[in-house]
């Protein structure tokens, strides 16, 4: 069993605040398509209360995080067009090392986002 884990957090770059109450869905990705593994909602600090994957669940492979950015942005008062430029933001990434910490943050605004492998 590896000692790694998967975590994330979301920052609203337009307001300069954590994105609280934003729904995140984690999927495993493969030739079969996407398989939902977990759903969670960010806390007041824009983070999940527990790692998305850890212990026996944390295995090498390809994964996707889907962030419900459009729902969040509308809820906090952004006037988005219909359809919104950004709605669900998917990030596909690979986990190669079961002993490492993979942190995949999302920085969002109404018309752009960025991500990176954090620590």
- Determine the pLDDT at residue 2: 74
pLDDT at 3: 87
The domain segmentation of the chain, as residue ranges, is: 5-115
Average pLDDT of the segment spanning 8-25: 97
Tokens of 26: 């984690």
**Ranges of H-type helices in the chain:** 69-75
Q: What is the pLDDT at residue 79?
A: 93
Domain 5-115 fold is Immunoglobulin-like (2.60.40)
- Tracing tokens 């527990």 back to the chain, one arrives at 50
Report the distance separating Cα 64 and Cα 93, nearest Å. 6
User: What are the tens digits of pLDDT across the range 17-64?
Assistant: 999 999 999 999 988 899 999 999 999 999 999 999 999 999 999 999
119 pLDDT exceeds 90?
Answer: no
Dist CA 8 CA 42 (whole Å): 9
pLDDT tens digits for 74-91? 999 999 999 999 999 999
Q: Which residues of 1-25 are buried (b: 16+ CB within 10 A; e: fewer)?
A: eeebbbbbbbbbeeeeebbbebebb
């Amino acid at each position: 069993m590896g000692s790694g884990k998967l975590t994330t957090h979301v920052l609203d770059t337009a307001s300069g605040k954590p994105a609280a109450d934003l729904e995140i869905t984690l999927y495993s990705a493969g030739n079969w398509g996407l398989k939902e593994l977990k759903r969670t909602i960010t806390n007041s600090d824009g983070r999940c209360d527990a790692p998305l994957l850890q212990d026996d669940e944390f295995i090498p492979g390809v994964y996707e995080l889907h962030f419900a950015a459009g729902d969040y942005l509308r809820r906090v008062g952004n006037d988005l067009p219909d359809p919104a430029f950004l709605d669900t933001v998917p990030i596909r990434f690979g986990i190669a090392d079961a002993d490492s910490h993979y942190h995949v943050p999302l920085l969002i605004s109404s018309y752009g986002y960025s991500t990176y492998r954090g620590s």
